[in-house]
A and B are shown apart, each in its own frame.
Chain A
Amino acid sequence: MAEIVIRNLCKQFGAFTAVRSSSFKIEDGEFFMLLGPSGCGKTTTLRMIAGLELPTSGEIWIDGEEVGQKPASERDIAFVFQMFALYPHMNVRRNISYPLVSQGMPRSQVRARVGEIARILGIEGILDRPVGGLSGGDRQRVALGRAIVRNPKAFMMDEPLGALDAEFREHMSQELRALHDRMGATTVYVTHDQLEAMQMGDKIVVMNHGVVEQFGTPRDIYDKPATMFVADFIGSPAMNFLHFHGAVRPGADRVSVHHQALPIPAAREAFEGDIVYGVRPEFIRLSDSAGYRGRVRAAEYLGTTQIVTIETPNGEAKARIPSDQPARPGDMVGLAFEGATVTLFDAQSGRALRSELNEGVLAHG
């Protein structure tokens, strides 16, 4: 098992830059998520760590060794592909034993090891079946078996649940997480599904356009987004952005938005210009006494809660409120904000302004 350190990693394909100057650190035994929209460079980053692509520049350290230019076969890592990539001309047993055969392990030992892995994954019954007729879940388990059989330093997983249907994905993600907790292996997991990343990851890197936008625990990334992109990408519905022009002084705990003083966590930097007031839907309450008002446009009923879309003077906002609270389209309502959870952004650059809430996160981010 190993710690993985990425330093200033860059990858260019011709004139196209897939990854630009990424740096982050994956602790030993961590379940680490690379999250971002498609084309953001997360898969390229994973493939560089695995050795399937060579970086244009930068360093990759696995277990204290710089492996950036080494071939995949010498890195001692395992890779689970989205389409599983089980060798179609071999049966399950041979698929799982293939990495051991390449090491020249004696036949009897291979057999014992494959049996042990099959027991862990619950696939003893299908060992002698061809891989062609297996269900998606069993293919996934065989692919995992082939990955863990060798006790590699780390696991790379490229959207391993992407090919499964939604119902089964839930089940498999729990199985994966349980397997990880049991083996304690460093795992790097690529996904575009923010829910999956939040559910399973110890840490998340959010990437966009080849750049690391933020790196931290799921809670930090959700509560203290470093950029507007992260705030928008994580959470469903996404964080609300109320655009206004104004100024904020260090120590202030209010900002003036549309003639109303809205609460913020104590500011730690001065800023003047176009600002975005970012607040998550669950931290907006409808309150008749509130001065900041808007008109209800729609309400989506979700069982215990409802999502109410409100037209405000500074743009559209969605609030998640209890479903027993009345909110009819056309109503004028007052909006109250949970000030301690708010993040202000520089509208131009998308960068979060430092405050009491996020200064700890932004300092090392």
Chain B
Amino acid sequence: MSGYSITEPTPRQKWIAGTLVVLYALITILPLLWIIATGFKSPADAIAYPPKVVFDPTLEGYVNLFTTRSRATPEALEAMGPPETWYDGIVRQYGMVISGPSRYGERFLNSVVIGFGSTFLSVFLGTLAAYAFSRFKVPLKDDLLFFILSTRMMPPIAVAIPIFLMFRTLGLSDTHLGMILLYTAVNISLAVWLLKGFIDEIPREYEEAALIDGYTRFQAFYKVVLPQAATGIASTAIFCLIFAWNEYAFAVLLTSGQAQTAPPFIPTIIGVGKDWPAVAAGATLFLLPVMVFTILLRKHLLRGITFGAVRK
């Protein structure tokens, strides 16, 4: 006979908890799996009813995502000879030829530049501001902190019209710089507040020890405080990136030709012949960077989310 501690769950409780977690994971991951699967279906399979769970995977969706195609007459196709590449072959089954690359790659790159650019800027400025708020006597500190927080008290899109007009006047419409500044402005309050919490937790003695050891205030900041704040910086960066990466409304409103990001672009693919596999392929690829970034920083993220919940 074995006894169990009252604070430790029994095997039965563990089993129930495990089942619940797996169920919850399935429910949340299912739509994601569906999108990934749809990306590998043919257009006919994608809209088949009842939905097909088992299907012949094809890269059609990905080919369509990255190309623009035009219809060709059977004679013209005949005259061209056999397809030169595998993706030519896929396109020609439908009596089409590839007429050039699509703009998806470009839009994706815009997302990378704007998303990571604004994340870097938010975290960089946020860390400096949070350090100053945490360590120095700033006049009207509490009011300033409240003011910074107050920028989050309404949905950012509520100020879409003034921002639209402002961007037009300043020539920031449809520019990378404009979008980076906009997302930074939205994210910076989150960054300052999150990071201030983390930096408050780092004992001042570490910096003071560095000051005594002959380092300047700035050296003490980046050699002692920054490594200690790495966890906070990482989780803040993830939150900022997720917002900037997924943002849709401002991107639709403020970008079109030059600086359009992937979110407003992906839905426009549907226009070209109800091409759900291509849309799903675009969404799948779009998920990857945030996923990789989050997996790389997941240890920090966990600590960041539960931060403050348990006192050491």
Taking Cβ atoms with an 8 Å cutoff, the residues of A that contact B are 50-52, 71-73, 77-79, 81, 83, 85, 87-89, 98-99, 102-103, 146, 150
Contact = CB atoms under 8 A, between A and B. Distances in A.
Nearest to B217: A71
B214 interface: yes
Nearest to A158: B205
Contact of A99 (B208, B213, B216, B219): B213
Given A89-B227, A89-B228, A81 B209 contact: yes
User: Which of A72, A88, A103 has the most chain B CB atoms inside 10 A of its CB?
Assistant: A72
A103 B214 contact: yes
Nearest to B230: A89
A87 B227 CA distance: 10
A146 B228 CA distance: 19
B213 A146 contact: yes
Nearest to A78: B212
Contact of B214 (A50, A85, A88, A102): A102
A73 B227 contact: no
Given A83-B205, A85-B203, A85-B205, A72 B212 contact: yes
Query: Main SS of the interface on chain B?
Result: helix
B211 A72 contact: yes
A73 B212 contact: yes
Contacts of B208: 52, 72, 79, 81, 85
Interface string B198-215: 000001011011111111
Contacts of B219: 102
B36 interface: no
User: Which of A50, A73, A78, A99 has the most chain B CB atoms inside 10 A of its CB?
Assistant: A73
Contacts of A99: 212-214
Contacts of A85: 203, 205-206, 208-209
B228 A102 contact: no
Nearest to A86: B209
A85 B211 CA distance: 12
A47 B172 CA distance: 50
A79 B208 CA distance: 9
Nearest to A95: B209
B300 to A, nearest CB: 14
B215 to A, nearest CB: 5
Nearest to A85: B205
11 contacts: A73-B215, A73-B216, A79-B212, A85-B205, A85-B208, A87-B210, A99-B213, A102-B213, A102-B214, A146-B209, A150-B213
B224 interface: yes
A334 B11 CA distance: 73
Contacts of B224: 87
Contact of B211 (A52, A89, A146): A52
A106 to B, nearest CB: 16
Contacts, number: 54
A88 B226 CA distance: 12
A98 B205 contact: no
B205 A102 contact: no
The 4 A-B pairs at the shortest CB distance, nearest first, are namely: A85-B205, A102-B214, A99-B213, A85-B209
Contacts of B211: 51-52, 71-73
Given A99-B213, A102-B213, 4 more contacts: A85-B203, A87-B210, A89-B227, A150-B213
A146 B206 CA distance: 13
A314 B299 CA distance: 68
A71 B211 CA distance: 8
Given A71-B211, A72-B211, A73-B211, A87 B206 contact: yes
A50 B213 CA distance: 11
A102 B224 CA distance: 13
A29 to B, nearest CB: 20
A98 B215 CA distance: 10
Contacts of B216: 71, 73
Nearest to A89: B227
A177 B228 CA distance: 33
Contacts of B212: 50-52, 72-73, 77-79, 99
Nearest to B206: A85
Contact of B228 (A77, A79, A88): A88
Nearest to B205: A85
Contacts of B210: 87, 98
Nearest to B215: A102
A50 B210 CA distance: 12
Interface in B5-19: none
A291 B102 CA distance: 112
Nearest to B214: A102
A88 to B, nearest CB: 7
B234 to A, nearest CB: 14
Contacts of A73: 211-216
A72 B212 CA distance: 5
Nearest to A147: B212
A120 to B, nearest CB: 19
B231 to A, nearest CB: 11
B209 A87 contact: yes
Nearest to A52: B208
Contacts of B228: 88-89
Contacts of B206: 85, 87-88
Nearest to A102: B214
Nearest to B213: A99
Nearest to A84: B205
A87 to B, nearest CB: 6
A47 B303 CA distance: 34
Contacts of A87: 206, 209-210, 224
Contacts of B203: 83, 85
